[in-house]
Amino acid sequence: MAEDWIKIRVDLIDDPAVISISEELDMDDFSVVGRLVKLWSWADKHSVNGNALCVTRMWIDRYINRTGFANAMENAGWLRGDDGEISLPNFERHNGNSAKKRAE
């Protein structure tokens, strides 16, 4: 299907937010990017625009297999909101049907 993809920047691994998450969790950058891709892929499939995700930080940590990852994303500015209403800021810039149509 045409919607079975997400857009990833080629310089994502060098993004200060990735570096921040890596440092906070003592992880290598490749592991951080892989986990972000997994979470963003899930959000693309289960939300319209990455907002009001009905999940918790604990669920995110369990889903991507790394305790503290959701909090590190929040500290880096890539996650916000309360458990049960989590949002991924600026998600719609790169993902969702509208962004995919623009990218194509």
Query: pLDDT per position in the chain (104 positions), as tens?
Result: 446 888 888 999 999 999 999 999 999 999 999 999 999 999 988 887 777 678 999 999 999 999 999 999 999 999 999 999 999 998 877 676 655 665 56
The length of the chain in residues reads 104
Q: How many CB atoms lie within 10 A of CB 61?
A: 17
Residues 11, 87: Cα–Cα separation, whole Å? 23
**Prediction pTM value:** 0.87
